[in-house]
Each structure stands twice: as C-alpha cells, then as structure tokens.
C-alpha cells in the first residue's frame, strides 16, 4: 500500500465517522508510530508529517553519521558510506533524514497497520457515543425500530447508533413494526468491551415525568413541580404535583380542559390511566387524595411503622382497592404508607346535607372534600385530625360536633 492509499482510507473514515481532523491525524500518527516501534524497536527519531486534505503522508527517519564499521544502534546511526549514497558531502557527526516508505515496513505490517487504524477509530467513535448518551441518561429519546427480537427491540437513531429496548422495559400493550418511531427514556449506558450498550425504557416512572415536562408548559417552566410518580406500566399511574404559586391549580393545569393536555400522554403510554393528585404535607389529606376516586371516611396513622388504617363506606371499598388492587398499591407507593382498608359498619346514619338549616353549606362542603359526608363519619374523627385534614377552625368543628351529637342523643 502506498502512502497515498492509506490517506485515502483515512479520508473515508473521516467522512464516515465525522471525527474532527485533528483527532483523526492524532489517531493515524499513533498507529504509524506503533508500526515503527515494531519494525525498528523505537520511534523517537522519526518525524511523521500528515496532510489528509492533500493526501500527503511522509515518514522521515533521523540518524547520526558514524564511521564505517562503528554502528552500534542501527536505528539511531548510519555508516558514512551509506549516508553518502543519500548525499555525497555528508560527514561523520552530521544528522541524516531519510524518507521511509510504507512498503519498507513489509506487507504484513501494512495490513496490521490498516486494521489497527480501523480499530482505533471505532474505539474513539464508541467512546464518544458512550459520553454522548451518558449525558442523556434520564432524558426522552426517539429512534426507529430496526430489528425485532424475542427479548428486545433493536432501535437505530438518525446517526445509526444502536439502542436496545428490552421486553421488560416495554409497556405490555406495546406493539411496534419495523421502521416505526419509538419514544422512551435513556435508562442506562454502559461500556461492554469497547462497545456502548444503550438501554431505553418505556416503563420507568421517569418516562412519565419527562412526558409531563414535554407536554405541560407549566411543568417545563418550573411553575408546577412533580413531587412523585408511581406506575403500573400500561395499567395505572399516580402523579403528585405541587405549585408554589397559589394562582395556579396544578392538577387542572396538568389535566387540561376535558383532559386535553394529558390525553397525548395517556395515548403514548398505551391508555395508561393517570391520576394527577394535589400534593400536600398533611399526610392524612395526602393519603385521602391518593386513594382517589374513593371517598375516605376516616384515617388512623401509625407514623412509626408507616401504616394507615382507612375507614370507608362499603360502596367505596372497591374504588379504593381498584382493579387488581392497582389503586391501593399505587396510593401506598405514592405516600410511602402501607394502607389497610376497613369497611364502615352499616349502622343508621344521617347525611350532613340534612343539617343544612343549622350548619352553613361551605362548612358541609369542607367536610365533603375529605370524604366526610355523614354525621357519624364526622363524629368518629378526632378533633385534632379534623383540624389537620380540613381548612376549618377548631371552634367551628366543635360546634358542628355539638349539633350532630344532639341529633343522635334525641
């Protein structure tokens, strides 16, 4: 292979891999120096001049002229008679620069050199891909289905990078065809050997969180904060949201008019049912909201053991548990509490609305917001807990309790 042919190969790599010129020149010089070390034992006295744009490659070996018969280091020294064949007026002690052609390295060395060049460029390319995708961990990415296997789908992005979407990272209802575009988050990036393994996930809670950022401007702008996300992929999810601006309704902003904002997210996740919940530091109220759509009658907390005993009307129990136990399981994961559901006794009770002539409507509404719709559901609560769970003053609550007790004492 002539010098020019190696440069041609070099240019192919440059165009194909889009590696910058300086980096490629450094790789080529490194490969050449390794070849020179193998051939001559050392490369310190070699100058390598590369001009890939013009297709120029020159290798010069520098040696010192010594008297005939006195060469001790053949790579560093040259006999006077040999030097004078290059230039007749050389004398002992002078430096001689002699060009080395690639053919001088031998056919086997040239083949190894080219293979080494390919390997080094791929290694550099893989390192760059690894760094690029490592920075994208936790971000949404899209790529095209290239190959469908039993345990994974192989995706290719616009640059031809391979991304793996394992079966257990796919939503159960996912069905993709070759050539179809797929979105997910880059969950992990690892170097296996010299090759990066890029894993995508569509089941991670972070994917749902990032979809909220993409689809809801207030989340993207930081006006609404996502406090926690829990999912049973393809079935149900609960998202706790909060806003530091009292003028913004975080739930309403996320859901949109008639679900317009969240509809695209639901469709992306295979019609996953998404409950958006208003976050609060009030644990009882947060658990109550987390069990939506069920209406809770009362809650008893065991903060030390992270357990909550929830009392519900018989008709609310199935709503709290949800299909396949999904609702109560997700409520537990969202709040960090193990939730036990208890069915309210079927004793005779009176709706709070029956007391509208004695209790103001807005007060009845406040109790209703936390799932307390009957007289007994209120009387069973601790006054301190009622103050925590509602926006009512203790004096107001005590007055309501007095009115309700009078009803049952009669």
319 and 360 in one domain? no
381 and 331 in one domain? no
- pLDDT digit string, tens, across residues 331-348: 999 999 999 887 776 456
Element (H, E) at 275: strand 273-278
DSSP of 102-155: GGGG-HHHHHHHHHHHHHHHHHHHHHHHHHHHHTTBTSEEEEEEEEE-SSEEEE
Q: Helices 326-335 and 283-290: crossing angle, nearest 10°?
A: 150
Total domains in the fold of the chain = 4
Domain stops at, among 182, 201, 220: 201
Q: What is the extent of the structural domain holding 219?
A: 205-343
- In this structure, the number of other CB atoms found within 10 A of the CB of residue 324 comes to 10
What does pTM read for this prediction? 0.61
Instruction: Quote the CA–CA distance of 258 and 161 in Å, as a whole number.
Output: 40
Beta sheet of 273-278, edge-to-edge order? 224-232, 236-243, 273-278
The pLDDT value given to residue 346: 46
Give me the CATH number covering residue 391: 1.10.150
155 and 170 in one domain? yes
Q: What angle do CA 394, 398, 402 make, to 5 degrees?
A: 170
In angstroms, what CA-CA distances link 220 with 211, 213, 215, 225, 254?
A: 10, 5, 8, 9, 11
Domain stops at, among 172, 201, 230: 201
Instruction: Quote the CA–CA distance of 376 and 346 in Å, as a whole number.
Output: 11
**Is the distance from CB of 322 to CB of 236 less than 8 angstroms?**
yes
**Is the distance from CB of 198 to CB of 162 less than 8 angstroms?**
yes
Q: Are strands 140-148 and 152-156 parallel, antiparallel or unpaired?
A: antiparallel
Burial class (CB in 10 A: 0-12, 13-18, 19+), 146: middle
Instruction: Quote the CA–CA distance of 9 and 13 in Å, as a whole number.
Output: 7
Instruction: Quote the CA–CA distance of 277 and 286 in Å, as a whole number.
Output: 8
11 and 111 in one domain? yes
Query: CA 333, 338, 343, 344 torsion: positive or negative?
Result: negative
114 and 187 in one domain? no
**Is the distance from CB of 291 to CB of 328 less than 8 angstroms?**
yes
Q: What would the two tokens of residue 157 be?
A: 């992005």
The pLDDT value given to residue 62: 92
210 and 337 in one domain? yes
Instruction: Quote the CA–CA distance of 32 and 159 in Å, as a whole number.
Output: 29
As averages over each run of 10 residues, the pLDDT of the chain (410 residues) reads 51 54 75 84 86 72 89 87 86 87 73 72 77 92 94 93 95 93 95 86 96 94 95 95 91 91 93 94 94 91 91 84 87 93 68 84 86 80 83 90 77
Give me the CATH number covering residue 77: 3.30.1480
The pLDDT value given to residue 20: 63
149 and 109 in one domain? no
Domain stops at, among 110, 131, 152: 131
214 and 177 in one domain? no
**Is the distance from CB of 269 to CB of 208 less than 8 angstroms?**
yes
Instruction: Quote the CA–CA distance of 400 and 281 in Å, as a whole number.
Output: 26
Reduced to 3 states, what is the DSSP secondary structure of residue 268?
helix
């Amino acid at each position: 292979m002539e010098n020019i042919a190696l440069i041609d190969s070099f240019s192919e790599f440059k165009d194909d891999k889009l590696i910058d010129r300086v980096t490629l020149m450094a790789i080529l010089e490194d490969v050449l120096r390794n070849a020179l070390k193998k051939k001559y034992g050392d490369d310190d006295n070699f100058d390598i001049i590369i001009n890939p744009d013009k297709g120029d490659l020159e290798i010069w070996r520098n040696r010192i002229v010594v008297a005939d018969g006195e060469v001790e280091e053949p790579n560093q020294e040259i006999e006077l008679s040999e030097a004078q064949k290059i230039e007749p007026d050389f004398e002992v002690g002078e430096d001689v620069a002699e060009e080395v052609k690639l053919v001088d390295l031998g056919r086997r060395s040239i083949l190894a050199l080219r293979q080494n060049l390919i390997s080094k460029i791929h290694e550099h390319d893989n390192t760059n891909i690894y760094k690029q995708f490592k920075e994208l961990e936790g971000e949404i990415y899209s790529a095209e289905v290239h190959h469908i296997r039993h345990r994974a789908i192989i995706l290719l992005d616009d640059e031809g990078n391979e991304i793996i979407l394992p079966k257990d990272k796919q939503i159960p209802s996912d069905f993709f065809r070759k050539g179809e575009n797929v979105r997910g988050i880059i969950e992990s990036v690892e170097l296996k050997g010299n090759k990066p393994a890029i894993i995508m996930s569509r089941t991670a809670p972070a994917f749902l969180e990032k979809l909220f950022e993409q689809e809801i401007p207030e989340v993207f702008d930081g006006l609404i904060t996502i406090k926690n996300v829990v999912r049973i992929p393809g079935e149900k999810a609960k998202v706790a949201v909060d806003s530091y601006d009292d003028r913004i309704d975080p739930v309403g902003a996320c859901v949109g008019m008639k679900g317009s904002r969240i509809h695209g997210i639901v469709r992306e996740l295979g019609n996953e049912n998404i409950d958006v919940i208003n976050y609060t530091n009030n644990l009882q109220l947060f658990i109550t909201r987390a069990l939506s759509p069920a209406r809770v009658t009362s809650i008893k907390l065991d903060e030390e053991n992270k357990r909550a005993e929830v009392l519900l009307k018989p008709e609310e129990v199935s709503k709290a548990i949800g299909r396949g136990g999904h609702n109560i399981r997700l409520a537990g994961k969202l709040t960090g509490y193990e939730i036990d559901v208890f069915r309210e006794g079927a004793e005779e009770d009176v709706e709070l609305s029956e007391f509208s002539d004695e209790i103001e409507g807005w007060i009845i509404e406040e109790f209703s917001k936390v799932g307390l719709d009957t007289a007994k559901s209120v009387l069973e609560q601790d006054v301190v807990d009622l103050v925590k769970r509602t926006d009512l003053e203790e004096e107001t609550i005590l007055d309501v309790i007095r009115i309700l007790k009078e009803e049952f004492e009669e």
